[in-house]
Chain A
Amino acid sequence: MTERFAPVPNSNPFSCRYFEPGMIPFLFHDEHCLETLADRFRPPGNQKSVGRWAIVGPHGSGKSTLLTQLSQRLNCHLNVLHSSTQKLVGLRTILRKINQSDLCFIDGYEQLPRWAQLWLLAYTQIKRVPMCVTAHRLPWAFESLWQTRIDHQVEHHVLDCLLRDLDPSLKSALIESQAWKISREKQRENLRESLFDMYDWWRDTVDEYSRAR
């Protein structure tokens, strides 16, 4: 987990800097762990795998978090594509990185246009480089590595991480709050959006209370 610095006095724990991908460790529900997933990219012996894996899930469900941690564990470069990334520049960067690495990790694979995806598939096939990507739906020619989902266990885990240095009663107050319940009901699979909602709750209740005192 990335070290957490709070350069802002009275920092709001729901500021997006604290839950950006990589800041909160991914929670595995069963016997799976990061190591077993990483093993898929380390085939036994010298044989080179050209597997194509996808981490699939809705917005704000932890896809980028899992891929970030996986790339850190395997010590490989993670290509992050935003909707504002120029497609050609993004593709050229990925192709350059493929030549320098034996793994190709892409966060936001759907940002690439179809022709670029096909190009990438062909290129990694020729170079025999395994791929791992995040997507909202399973992309063509990929196998599912992990399906991310949000449940109470994940919610508690995320809140524990965000509020770990603070008074434990704050967490229970938050979970009991109407704002949290309404937000979870509304946002459903998108936990990140609920965390944004709780930024306002924290500012209007906890910060205001501290100021008043």
Chain B
Amino acid sequence: MSGWWFIGSLGEALFFAAVFLIGVFLSAILISWQLMSQSTQPLKIWNGFWLFLGVCLSFAVIGIVGFWYRVLKVVTSDEHREVIAQRGIIPEPLSGTQIPKRTALAPSIPDVKRFTDSPGARLAYRLPSQIPENGALVALGIFAMAWNAMIAVFVVLAAENYFRDQTPWQLLLLLLPGIYVAIRSARLFFRSFIQILGIGSTTVEIEELPLVPGREYHLEVVQYGRLVIKKIAVRLECQEESTYHFGTDLRTERQTVFSQEIASHGRDRIDWGYPLRLECRFCVPEDAMHSFQSKHNAIHWKIVVDGEANRWPSYSRSFPVLVYPQPKSSRPTAAS
């Protein structure tokens, strides 16, 4: 299952990418043939033409749907899709809390909805990932697909002219850098895809949100993929962020003011279907500052997963969490 899954996923993505390109090629050939043929009508416009065009476009559609189905299957886990399908709605937290959930009651703290809109498979919430790794892959894939399709159309036009003994030198000169970009973008996409296939996604689930200082929480980190990890560590981190903006001068500074390792795991092998599960309990420090967001300043809390793997580059993935102030604190004798 392991190796075949890797090769199968990559092979399927490549196959559907090829089907898409064939569809675009054939559609372009058909349209240019129809429009540019001056002497004869090779296909009847209302019958054969539309039939052939439909077949060619269906190739492109099957290619695009199959390709993205395969890619998205890799970047979102089966369990995640299953839980959303089963529950239909976003679940309530497992344990009740007196913490107000409306931002209006807790001004300057980000809205908790942004953090709780994804249900977890085992615990209440799946934390959103801060690094748009999958988003970048999808964006790159869309670009590569669109660019390759455009280049395919121009190649067909150039070939058409060439066979009519009108070598389109200008178009060919323009096509050369275009083909280079097409190859590079496709190559970059498949390299990133292979990396994601190998390292796999990381999911973090938490039993309750928002977090409150002094309380203990159950956390589960699942690392998918097919790799041998040397070390995986989970940290709770607090980061301050300040932005100075005047005129063209825009500077943002971030500083980590708290970092605590809450779980770690040594050398282990992860395979498709056998992800690494790390369960731990952690506590937000009693005297911790809550999350804060204003126009130019912020205090962010997050769970950071750092991984070192054999044959793959080290990675670090952040999952923001929300920390609220304690609902009722006892009055101190004096400010510190």
| Interface, chain A (partner B; CB < 8 A) | 16, 20-21, 59-60, 64, 80-84, 107-108, 110-111, 134, 136, 192-193, 196
Contact = CB atoms under 8 A, between A and B. Distances in A.
A83 B247 contact: yes
Interface string B242-253: 001111111101
A82 B251 contact: no
B124 to A, nearest CB: 37
Of listed B244, B248, B250, B253, residue having the most chain A CB within 10 A? B248
A192 B248 contact: no
Contacts of A16: 244
Interface of B: 244-251, 253
A64 B247 contact: yes
Contact of A21 (B244, B245, B246): B246
Contacts of A111: 247-248
A177 B207 CA distance: 49
A196 B244 contact: yes
A192 B248 CA distance: 13
Contact of A107 (B245, B247, B250, B251): B247
Nearest to B296: A16
Of listed B244, B247, B249, B253, residue having the most chain A CB within 10 A? B247
A196 B251 contact: yes
A111 B246 CA distance: 12
B250 to A, nearest CB: 6
Contacts of B251: 193, 196
A83 B244 contact: no
B247 A82 contact: yes
Contacts of B253: 196
Given A16-B244, A108-B248, 12 more contacts: A59-B248, A80-B247, A82-B246, A82-B248, A83-B245, A83-B247, A107-B247, A110-B248, A111-B247, A136-B248, A193-B251, A196-B251
A81 B247 contact: yes
17 contacts: A16-B244, A20-B246, A60-B249, A64-B246, A64-B247, A81-B247, A82-B245, A82-B247, A84-B245, A107-B247, A108-B247, A108-B248, A110-B248, A134-B247, A192-B249, A196-B244, A196-B251
Of listed A81, A82, A110, residue having the most chain B CB within 10 A? A82
A83 B251 CA distance: 12
Contacts of A59: 248-249
A209 to B, nearest CB: 17
Contacts of A80: 247
Nearest to A134: B247
A111 B245 CA distance: 13
Nearest to A80: B247
A59 B250 CA distance: 11
Of listed A16, A21, A110, residue having the most chain B CB within 10 A? A16
A83 B245 CA distance: 8
A64 B249 CA distance: 11
Contacts of B248: 59, 82-83, 108, 110-111, 136
The 5 closest A-B pairs by CB, nearest first: A108-B247, A83-B248, A16-B244, A59-B249, A83-B250
A47 B251 CA distance: 44
B229 to A, nearest CB: 36
B76 to A, nearest CB: 33
B166 to A, nearest CB: 40
Nearest to B242: A16
Contacts of A136: 248
A80 B249 CA distance: 12
A82 B249 CA distance: 8
A104 B246 CA distance: 19
Contacts of A21: 246
Contacts of B249: 59-60, 192
Of listed B244, B249, B250, B253, residue having the most chain A CB within 10 A? B249
A81 B247 CA distance: 6
A136 B248 CA distance: 10
Contacts of B244: 16, 196
Nearest to B335: A9
Contacts of A110: 248
B290 to A, nearest CB: 18
A24 to B, nearest CB: 14
B247 to A, nearest CB: 4
A60 B244 CA distance: 12
Contacts of A108: 247-248
